[in-house]
Amino acid sequence: MVHCGAARGHRGSGPGPRAPGAPPSDQQHEGSIMTGVDRSIPEFDIEVPVVVVGAGAAGLAATLAACDSGAGTLLLERDVVPYGSTCMSQGNVCAAGTRLQRENGIEDDAEALYRDIMARSKGTADTGVSRTVADNCGPAIDWLVDRFRIPFRLDLSWGGFFGHTVNRLHGVPSKTGKELHDTMMRAAEAAGADIVTGAHVDTVYADAEGRVAGVRVTRADGAVETIGCKALILATCGFGANAGMVRRFIPSFGEAPYYKYFGHEGNEGEGIEWGMALGAAVGSMDAFQGYGALVESAGVICNYDPIMNGGIMVNLEGRRYSNEVKDISAQSLNTLQQPEGIGWVIFDDARRATCEDLPEFRELKALNVVRTAGDAGALAELIKVPAEALEATIAETQRMAKGEVPCPFGRDFTRNPPLSGRLHAIRTTGALFHTQGGLKIDGTARVVREDGSPLPNLFASGGTAESISGSGCDGYLPAAGLCTAITLGMLAGRAAAELVGDAAMADA
């Protein structure tokens, strides 16, 4: 059940919820910090076996798995209406060896995905987490389809691009993260989870050994509650919205000219900071998923489909500046390094057909940001780039498509027919979508210390855990973000349920 009121649970012997706006009692917080990790453990207002923090794909998968395994589970979400990175995404999830792939005649398995992860990250991705994700992502998709009727389909348009050697992107019919999120949210409610929105977790209570005892929540109306738990799953995503952390861990991006972040404002890295304060190791902290074609004025992405199918990107001087299809993530930095950090996406009617029905393109049309002209000269005038330069760029691209000249950036244009006829242009910039570094975990998504030993009862998933992208911005495999969110969420939920089940048996 989703509540926007007080959290439910097994009431302990504590003082009960305080009045809205009232500060925490002096006794509970004497000599301790007000946020972060607090080593002085209060008597909790309520107790639940498993607490999950963050209602994105990771937290919802964890909640579904914990409930499915029989554990009482409370999901706490800071926003009144959850709209994290999952809702902002296209909802594509890469996964290998799924039944949907087999039904579509696609041969794929965990080993092939693992190879692609390692190739994409140039061998820098953490081998342990990469194995865990590669082995479990296929079963995770099958589980969501079979057990919870999440309506995944196989997207057959992506094979062979940006590091996936086969078609393995799975998405919901509308191709929106919002639909994926909403169906998972409904499934979690139906599975019996307690979901409390407008509940910002600001403190984790833990003993000196790092055993989590509970959390403190500040509600949207200022009310404060303390909730005890036997296991805590952190699913608060990454730290893209925390400019200080970005500058510290990803200086290449944080200090880039025209630096932009386009993810959820809730990605402040709290989960990662709590884990670090509890002694957890972190990994791949300089890794991130960027995007080279964000329509900033509209707050909507420009779909990559027209680019992948032969479209190009030019700067304000009317010149191409990169191999646009080499790396969808690293293209963010390529674009940001152009004058004013701007790249115009240019395509013709044939490429437009590849995105005409996609939700983002429909939105861009409605917002009137798609510029159209009969030829390169007229388009240049419309978008205010030098006509001579744009005409020369289009003509050269046409010759490259015919195989007459090589692309100076190494792109193979001969896979698609040359640009022709009417041309369209969309003004974009590069942006950081979400960070890929996070807490190190073991094969059950339990958070570990530098020496590999697990913290007693702390789990991490999604953007809060170390991902499979290795180092930098070019190791990101498309749709790996939701893949790790769902896969690690499922593993964390199951392991947390097992842990609290064992603890209950021991107590009995």
* Binding positions for ligand FAD, rule: CB under 6 A: 53-59, 76-79, 82, 84-86, 88-93, 200-201, 235-237, 262-264, 266-267, 270, 301, 433-434, 462-463, 479-483, 485
Q: How far is the CB of 178 from ligand FAD (least distance, A)?
A: 11
Residue 394 or 447: which CB sits closer to ligand FAD? 447
- Least separation in angstroms between residue 498's CB and ligand FAD is 22
CA 326 to chain CA centroid, Å, is 21
Closest C-alpha to 276, from 444, 128, 460, 439? 439
Q: What is the C-alpha separation between 143 and 137, in angstroms, rounded?
A: 10
Give the nearest distance from C-beta 200 to ligand FAD in angstroms. 5
Residue 269: CB minimum distance to ligand FAD, A: 9
Nearer to ligand FAD by Cβ, of 79 and 305: the residue is 79
Residue 202 CB, nearest distance to ligand FAD (Å)? 6
CA 415 to chain centre: 31
Q: Which residues pair with 454 in a beta bridge?
A: 448
Token pair 């190879």: residue: 115
Alpha helix (H) residue ranges in 50-95: 57-68, 85-88
Q: Please answer whether residues 505 and 70 qualify as being in contact, where contact means their C-beta atoms are separated by less than 8 angstroms.
A: no
Nearer to ligand FAD, 322 or 332 (CB): 332
Chain centre to alpha carbon of residue 482: 6
SS3 content of the chain, % helix, strand, coil (to 5): 35, 20, 45
* DSSP state letter for 435: E
Shorter beta-carbon distance to ligand FAD: residue 318 or 472? 472
Evaluate whether 6 touches 194 at the Cβ level (below 8 Å): no
Alpha-helical runs (H) found in 149-221 = 177-190
Shortest CB 416 distance to ligand FAD, Å: 23
Torsion of CA 468, 470, 473, 479, to 10 degrees: -10
Report helix angle 110-120 to 127-148, nearest 10.
130
Whole-number Å distance between alpha carbons of 166 and 104: 12
Amino acid identity, position 139:
P
Nearest distance from residue 462's CB to ligand FAD, in Å?
Answer: 2
Which residue is it, tokens 């949907």? 100
Tell me the closest approach of the beta carbon of residue 495 to ligand FAD, in angstroms: 17
**3-state class of 374 per DSSP?**
coil
221 CB-contact burial (10 Å; exposed 0-12 / middle 13-18 / buried 19+):
exposed
Q: Name the minimum Å distance from CB 235 to ligand FAD.
A: 5
Nearer to ligand FAD, 201 or 376 (CB): 201
> Which residue's Cβ lies closest to ligand FAD?
56
Nearer to ligand FAD, 262 or 413 (CB): 262
Name the residue nearer to ligand FAD (CB basis): 65 or 390: 65
Q: How far is the CB of 274 from ligand FAD (least distance, A)?
A: 9
- Closer to ligand FAD by Cβ: residue 65 or 407: 65
Considering the complex, state which of residue 237 and residue 385 has its C-beta at the smaller distance from ligand FAD: 237
Nearer to ligand FAD, 86 or 338 (CB): 86
CA 135, CA 495: separation in Å to the nearest integer? 16
Q: How many CB atoms lie within 10 A of CB 504?
A: 12
Tokens describing residue 34: 């007000």
Both tokens of 398, joined, read 């046409």
Nearer to ligand FAD, 60 or 385 (CB): 60
DSSP assignment letter at 339: G
**Min CB(391)–ligand FAD separation in Å:** 33
